[in-house]
Amino acid sequence: MCAGVGGLRDCFLRWQKVASVFLPAILLLTAVSCGAPGVPLPPSLHLPQPVSDLHALRKGDKVHLTWTAPTRTTDRQLIRQAGVIQICRSVEATLSACGTPAGEVSALQRNPQQKDSKISQEFVDHLPGALLTSDPAGEIVYAVSALNSEGRSAGLSNEVRVPAISTLMPPQDMHAIATAKGIEVTGTSADAPAPASGVRYFYRIYRREKGSDNAAGTIAGEAPWKGSLRFVDHAFSWEKTYLYRVTVVTSVTRGQAPGIQVEGDDSREVEVFAHDVFPPAVPSGLQAMYSAVSGQAFVDLVWSPDVDTDLDGYNVYRMEDGGESVKINPQLVKTPAFRDANVKAGKTYSYSVSAVDVRGNESARSEAASESVP
């Protein structure tokens, strides 16, 4: 009992002492058992994030599509069981929905140890002839739609566009031969309708070395399109085997925008061994002049330099008094000049010069030049 003022004071002090001991524990227990719940999260729909890096490249009637497959859902959860990826195609200005897909790509299984590893996927769409046109402004629009295992999607990827312009057939009757001027590539093309305004055609020639890792090869050059192809390749190395193929490129110009190029199908590859059996050009402008220094007689020769890129040097031939022509230089002459010190007074000498390349092919001899030693 807490009767009276003193008793009330004593009771209050006793309660304060008890509260200081037990109240923190009571509050902790209350906080643990009666915590306020957070905002409830909605269940995940497991929708893959839309693809954002779709790319397209057209060649002939084929469109090569590539993209990175999504690894997470729209709520940033790891995709556990993906569905297919639909290929969406349209000739309309934009794609609002996939509609009937042009094809599907199956989901790829990921390594669970590599949660966000990038997986590149691709699809080759064979264009129906009905979609191709002679209109340079025509386009075909593509997008892809990633579905979950229940066939649901969070939307389409970025859109990509390719020209819908028709391309030409590659040249036929292809040949490649080694000539003194280079590798000559020839072929014939069928007639084609006159191109529309803003459209032009040209040949693109590819070269690859046989056995190399570069299966696609490199562009050897381009040539105007017409009924026949004749192209000479100078940028190659002798004594190697090459494969050549040709495609007809359709170039489309739309106003001030940069031109768009679409390659047609490739011709068959033709093989050629670049064997150099072709000598350099015959030297020209040979002149012979007598001179003497301190009683020693000489005949100095000069001629126009040979411009062949594989030139290794020159040989000098001398004929004396109608006799046999004999080479008088022990080593190849590296410059277009030579001094003959083995001459005698009273003799007339006739000289000629040939050019030799790095593979030992020797040209015919130049026109002769004669000089008499007094």
What 3-state DSSP class applies to 7? helix
Q: What are phi and psi of 28, to 5 degrees?
A: -65, -45
Give per-residue pLDDT as tens, 270-291.
999 999 999 999 999 999 999 9
Q: Which segments of the chain belong to CATH 2.60.40.10?
A: 55-163, 172-273, 287-372
Between the alpha carbon of residue 19 and those of residues 6, 8, 13, 27, 331, the distances in Å are 20, 16, 10, 11, 117
Query: Which residue in this structure is represented by tokens 């004594």?
Result: 239
Name the residue among 123, 121, 129, 133 with its Cα closest to residue 102: 123
User: CA-CA distance, 98 to 146, in Å (whole number)?
Assistant: 11
Query: Which residue in this structure is represented by tokens 């008088």?
Result: 328
Tokens describing residue 179:
């000539």
User: CA-CA distance, 267 to 205, in Å (whole number)?
Assistant: 10
User: CA-CA distance, 94 to 141, in Å (whole number)?
Assistant: 7
- As a whole number of Å, the CA-based R_g of the chain is 42
Query: Which residue in this structure is represented by tokens 């995709």?
Result: 79
Displacement of CA 250 from its chain's centroid (Å): 18
Structurally, at CATH architecture level, domain 172-273 sits in: Sandwich (2.60)
User: CA angle, corner 232, sides to 60 and 275, nearest 5?
Assistant: 115
Q: Which residues contact 290 (CB under 8 A, 6 or more apart)?
A: 297, 298, 299, 300, 371, 372, 373, 374
Specify the pairing of strand 160-163 against strand 120-126. unpaired
Give per-residue pLDDT as tens, 113-130.
555 578 899 999 999 999
Cα dihedral across residues 122, 128, 134, 140: positive or negative:
negative
Tokens describing residue 241:
């085997």
User: CA-CA distance, 88 to 106, in Å (whole number)?
Assistant: 15
User: CA-CA distance, 232 to 331, in Å (whole number)?
Assistant: 34
Based on the number of CB atoms within 10 Å of its own CB, is 221 exposed (0-12), middle (13-18) or buried (19 or more)? middle
Q: Would you write out the chain's pLDDT as a tens digit for each of its 374 residues?
A: 455 544 545 554 564 554 555 555 544 444 444 445 555 556 667 899 999 999 999 999 999 999 999 989 999 988 888 889 999 999 988 888 999 999 999 876 555 555 557 889 999 999 999 999 999 999 999 999 999 989 999 999 999 999 999 999 999 999 999 999 999 999 999 887 788 888 999 999 999 999 999 989 999 999 999 889 999 999 999 999 999 999 999 999 887 667 899 999 999 999 999 999 999 999 999 999 999 988 899 999 999 999 998 999 999 999 998 789 999 999 999 999 999 999 999 999 999 999 999 999 999 999 999 999 99
CATH 1.10.10.10 fits 287-372, yes or no: no
Task: Please give the full DSSP string across 71-113, using - where no structure is assigned.
Answer: -BBTTSPBPSSEEEEEEEEESSSS-SS--S-SEEEPPPPPPTT
Q: Which residues pair with 317 in a beta bridge?
A: 327, 352
What's the whole-model pTM score?
0.75
Name the residue among 259, 266, 67 with its Cα closest to residue 167: 266
Fold classified for 55-163: Immunoglobulin-like (2.60.40)
* Ramachandran assignment for 218, one of left (phi > 0), alpha (psi -120 to 50 degrees), beta (any other): beta
